[in-house]
Amino acid sequence: MDFNLPEESRMLKDTVRRFVDNELIPLEQKLVDRQNTFDLPDDIYRELSAKVKDMGLWAWGAPEDVGGAGLSPLDGCVVIEEVYRSTVGRSIFAPRFAPVLYELGTPAQKEKYLLPFVNGDLNAATAFSEPQAAGDLAGIKTTLEKKADGWVIKGNKCWITGADVADFILVLTRVKGTERHDGMTWVVLDKDTPGLKIGREQKMIHGRSTYEVFLDDCTVSKEQILGDPGQGWGAGNIFLHAGRMEIAARGLGVADRCQEMSIEYAKQRQTFGQPLSNRQAIQWMIADSAMEIHATRMMVYDAAWRATQGEDVQQQTAMIKVYSSEMVGRVVDRAVQIHGAAGLSDETILELCYRDVRPMRIYEGPSEAMRSMVARGLLR
């Protein structure tokens, strides 16, 4: 049994780490006034985007046949883990892939929406969460009804990231009269679709706002329906499983950087004539973080390797989503404690990391829902 990464994955990991260390981390203090870790000044965004494209890692999550890098789930986790060691450049390494469009879209739909999105020429948002169905994908109420002049959509969505700048939105609906998993259907809506309205801004703890989306009798043609009506559940699950794996890798990257900072600071900071690293309380914090990071990395790499082999990893992605998102919260908290007042200030990236990681336990399925999923799978 070999627990080492394949040689190509190790080379990829080293390449991205050098890029993060040399290009991204030096920018952190220059961008200290940012409200969130996804916004970059236009000039820096363009410069870094060009470098990532030169590396061949633009749209890393998209298959090669639509212009992406075509990375495997394992290599995708390796890349995201390294990228999230810095608070700069996360938007550059965004997945830029829409699995529901790839799985269900016609050649014409892919040509119009998916290819420009992967290339960076269009922005997109995905809308499935609703006021009464955020953690329960099958509980959505937004309806899709066949009329003489097309299909009519009624409902509203919330917590939609990027809706304000999206050129098109992928909306999860259900055929009117169906319940739970039956009748679920994805629809692609252009931003100027009549009846589509972007509602109030919902400001979030990590600084990256989400938005309400209102669908008031939106009438669309069959060309806007992805696949056949009722095919939405499977494609939606593909989206969520990939998202949960990515969040787990994000947690690893943030935790790894905060642990590095804790070790360095503990060796340099003097209190009462001794470095913090001499104190058992600090040593135990660092040791606990090291053990949790190691355990998480083994779980994440295992799930990603299984996904790369084509295995069903629904249980594994639920497990790593919970474990990594809760682990990184503890690691960042210890790092803040070790740094003291400096950890609460903008003199380090820790307060930004602290805000970044708290939502990880909620989006793409809260920890409680993931635990229930794991338990149901075991007890079935």
As a CATH number, domain 234-379 is 1.20.140.10
Confidence of residue 232 (pLDDT cuts 50, 70, 90): confident
Give the β-pairing of 143-147 and 150-161. Answer: antiparallel
Query: What value does the mean pLDDT take over residues 267-294?
Result: 96
364 catalytic, yes or no? Answer: yes
Share of the chain above pLDDT 70, in %: 99
Q: Within its chain, how far is the Cα of 278 from the centroid?
A: 38
pLDDT greater at residue 331 or residue 271: 331
- What pLDDT, on the 0 to 100 scale, is given for residue 30? 86
> Running DSSP on this structure, what letter comes out for residue 224?
G
Q: Quote the mean pLDDT of the chain.
A: 92
Neighbours of 89 (CB within 10 A): 26
Query: What value does the mean pLDDT take over residues 50-79?
Result: 94
The CA-atom distances, in angstroms, between 43 and each of 50, 60, 88, 96, 255 are 11, 22, 14, 20, 29
Which residues 6+ apart lie within 8 Å of 141 measured at CB?
130, 132, 133, 155, 174
Confidence of residue 300 (pLDDT cuts 50, 70, 90): very high
216 pLDDT more than 80: yes
- What pLDDT, on the 0 to 100 scale, is given for residue 251? 97
Reported as a single tens digit per residue, the pLDDT across 352-361 is 999 999 999 9
**Is this prediction's pTM over 0.75?**
yes
User: Which member of 130, 246, 292, 364 is catalytic?
Assistant: 364
Reported as a single tens digit per residue, the pLDDT across 29-41 is 888 777 778 888 8
104 pLDDT more than 90: yes
Q: Are 66 and 115 in contact (CB under 8 A)?
A: yes
CATH superfamily name and code, 122-226: Butyryl-CoA Dehydrogenase, subunit A, domain 2 (2.40.110.10)
CATH code 3.30.1310.10 for 7-97:
no
- Torsion angles phi and psi, residue 120, rounded to 5: 95, 5
Query: What value does the mean pLDDT take over residues 68-72?
Result: 94
Break the chain into its structural domains and give their ranges: 7-97, 122-226, 234-379
Beta pairing partners, 161? 210
